[in-house]
Amino acid sequence: MSAFPVAVRKQIIYAATFAVLFVGVFLLRGSAWRGSVELHEFMEVVATLLAAIVGVLALVRYYSQKDNTFLFIGSGFLGAGFLDGYHAVVTSSHFAALFPSPPLSLIPWSWLASRLFLSIALCLSWVFWKREQTLGPSGRINERVVYGIVSVLTLACFVFFAVAPLPSGYNPDLLIERPQEFIPATFFGLALVGYLSKGKWRDDPFEHWLVLSLIIGLVTQATFMSLSTQLYDMMFDMAHLLKEASYVCVLVGLLITMYRLFWLSTREPRIICSRETGAFIEVNQQMADLFGYTREEILKLGVDIFSDGAPYTEADLMRSIELTAPGKRHALFERRCRAKDGHLFWVECELERGAFGGRDAVVLWVRDIAERKRAEEAARDQFQFAEQLLETVPSPVFAKDTAGRYIRFNRAYEVFLGMESADLIGKSVFELWPPELAKTYDAADQALLKKPGVQVYEGHLRSATGVERDVVFHKATFNKADGSLGGIIGVVWDVTERKRAEDAVRKSEEKYRTLVESTSDLVWEIDQNNHYTYVSPVVKSLLGYEPGDLLGKSPFDIMAPAEAQRVATAFAQVSAARQSISLLENIVPHKNGQEVVLETSAVPIFDKDGAYCGYRGIDRNVTAHKIAEKALQQRDALMHAASMIAGDLVTASSLDDAIRQALELISQVVRVDRILVLERPPVQAGPMLRYIWESPR
């Protein structure tokens, strides 16, 4: 770090420039050097080109970011370049006959025209800057007026020197043979005083180089050219060379300010800080827009813009600067800042040491990371939610990497296994379970990793105490942020109790099925539409049907129409009242056509909400019972009829009447319409009809 502040170093440079030039005057004044017309022409061509380049760049700078200083400087240098070109032309012997004045007069005065014009333009640039500072925007002069004035003065000078006869440019009778040079020297001096008082030379590289140019111009006019005694002597040529040096100084300043303008126009907010103090030197518009201040306001605030309650000082910045290697970026901080309107936002800053405007400086890169911070905060919220959700889930949850090592699990998983986090994290199944179990677990994991997706299967999981539980593994692969396979995440469902319940239900069903299938009664179930939903296998032996033949059919579908109507009517009355059925007789034809008498008993069934679902019942085969009962009834009737016949035989008037009455009584008992009585004769012959009785119906 330099022992002198930047402003002091610049003052030393200015003083040294004055000193070197004055020393050069005394050393070169007596030199016998004699230049040539060709050398003079070359230097003036170079000066013309330099002035034109400076003028164009200054106007580009003006139109990029309008500042009247650059308007006057650009116009002045373009005019001076035109006059320098004219000065180069009049030097040539080829054009000497075209002008009314001899070269001895024309060359010195055409030099003076260019220098006077430029000195006045530079002086006016400061005057109108001062006017604008005093009056504000209303004090800004219109660019067309400036162009008009410059054009008129340039043409006037050209016409005057081209038409009017001029006296000699040298006065041998005077101590200083070219006293007219003090006129532009005066304007250069006024411009120098003005720009020094302006003070921007301390921080603005362009005005620093402009001050150097004015110093060179002042000394050139007041010493070198004023002390020249003849054309092309040492002082004459040195004055021309120093004029070009002054042009180069302005050109350097313009190039720096153009680079600065380019730097300020970048999209990324930037700040230039002093390498020595940490103070802000320059701020681009994007930085100002980010904080809602003007560039001037941020320069005044300095590092205070990074304070949101917790202060951040230049001393803090300086400590970071000391840690930053030249030419390399150094991440400084992420900080929440307060904008001018009061809202808070996050920025990220980086430092880069380098040079700016010819001085050691530090570039402070500032990035608005509000969106990133919001995304990070949302990610943290999402992660916290996922963590809480994971711990809230009652089922054990785990995650493994592609190598099969545990990387995450919830508390439920630890409790389920009877292990702590330290027992699981980073370990594989081979480190936690016996080989036979570990191989099973690993094989399932490897199959899933080879074919990423979802995997669900039943298995066993053994706890640290050796207790095995029936579980369902529901696993899936997950990917990393870059899309590569990250591992496996799984959920363990303990189905031990469910398995026990299923076993109990299965045993109960088997017991019930055995009971149902071993009974001789037909067990059935119908839905609310009277369609069979279950028929026990007994139906095969009872009615000749397979159980599947009747599923979906109604019991009435296999009855005779009349019987079906009778039974359906009786069933409808009972089912409408949701009453039980007890010993309802019905006749159902066997599949072979034989009638089977069934005795039906049933109860209504309901779901858990009390909604009617149908009936469940049994059919008992009472066909044999009914046949025996009918035979017994017929026997009793015949015995009764025989008793009555015996009485009729006693009281009958004739045997034929008695037989006829007996046959009629028998027909009523056995319910027949005709009775034939056959008599077998004693000889071997066919039976003979002895009596016949027919019902009168």
**Six-digit token string for 195:** 């720009």
175 phi and psi, to 5 degrees?
-60, -40
Last residue of a domain, one of 225, 246, 263: 263
**495 & 525 share domain:** no
Looking at the structure, tell me whether residues 637 and 581 fall in a common domain: no
Last residue of a domain, one of 572, 605, 621: 621
Residues 487 and 416 in one domain: yes
Residue 208 placed within a domain: yes
- Looking at the structure, tell me whether residues 640 and 589 fall in a common domain: no
Inside any domain, residue 143? yes
Candidate from 256-270, 329-343, 385-399, 641-655 with smallest mean pLDDT: 641-655
DSSP letter assigned to residue 65: S
Q: In whole angstroms, how far apart are CA 399 and each of 384, 427, 457?
A: 17, 11, 17
Q: What is the span of the domain harbouring residue 69?
A: 36-263
How many independent structural domains does the chain possess?
5
Q: From CA 205, how far away is CA 241, in angstroms rounded?
A: 23
Q: Residue 655 falls within a domain, yes or no?
A: yes
Query: Which run of H or of E encompasses 483?
Result: none
Rounded to whole angstroms, the Cα distance separating 344 from 377 reads 15
Residue 24 domain-assigned? Answer: no
Residues 605, 635: one domain? Answer: no
Q: Is pLDDT larger for residue 676 or for residue 300?
A: 300
CA distances from 528 to 485, 559, 561, 572 (A): 55, 19, 22, 11
* Same domain as 270, residue 124: no
In a domain, 5, yes or no: no
- Spatial contact of 361 and 451, defined as CB atoms under 8 Å apart: no
CATH number where 141 lies? 1.20.1070.10
pLDDT higher than threshold 70 for residue 94: no
281 and 370 in a single domain? The answer is yes
88 & 151 share domain: yes
Q: Same structural domain for residues 109 and 228?
A: yes
Mean of pLDDT over the chain: 83
**In the chain, what percentage of residues exceed pLDDT 90?**
30
Backbone angles phi, psi at 696, to 5 degrees: -70, -10
pLDDT tens-digit profile of 299-353?
888 777 777 666 677 677 777 766 666 666 666 678 888 888 888 888 888 888 7
- Residues 404, 469, single domain; the answer is yes
Inter-residue contact 442 to 521 (CB < 8 Å): no
- For residue 688, pLDDT beyond 70: no
Instruction: Examine the domain organization and report whether 314 and 198 are in the same domain.
Output: no
Q: What is the pLDDT of residue 444?
A: 92
> Looking at the predicted structure, is the pLDDT value of residue 157 above 80?
no
- Provide the CB-side half-sphere exposure for 168 (13 A, CA): 8
CA distance 147 to 40: 30
Distance separating alpha carbons of residues 14 and 6, to the nearest angstrom: 12
How confident is the model over 508-526, as pLDDT tens digits?
Answer: 767 666 666 667 788 899 9
Q: Domain check: are 670 and 594 in the same one?
A: no
Least reliable range by pLDDT among 338-352, 447-461, 642-656: 642-656
Are β-strands 522-527 and 612-621 bridged in parallel, bridged antiparallel, or unpaired? Answer: antiparallel
- Measured between its terminal Cα atoms, the distance across the chain in Å is 148
Q: What is the DSSP-derived secondary structure letter of residue 283? A: E
Write the burial class of residue 4 (CB in 10 Å: 0-12 exposed, 13-18 middle, 19+ buried).
exposed
Tell me the CATH number at 353: 3.30.450.20
Q: Is it the case that residue 1 has pLDDT exceeding 50?
A: no
Domain boundary among 263, 285, 302: 263
**DSSP letters of 538-598?**
THHHHHS--HHHHTTS-GGGGS-HHHHHHHHHHHHHHHHTT--EEEEEEEEE-TTS-EEEE
Structural domain includes residue 387 = no
Q: Does 586 or 99 have the greater pLDDT score?
A: 586
Per the domain annotation, does 514 fall within a domain? no
Q: Is residue 469 one of the residues assigned to a domain?
A: yes
Q: pLDDT tens for residues 381-440? A: 888 888 888 888 888 898 999 999 998 888 888 888 888 888 888 999 898 888 888 899
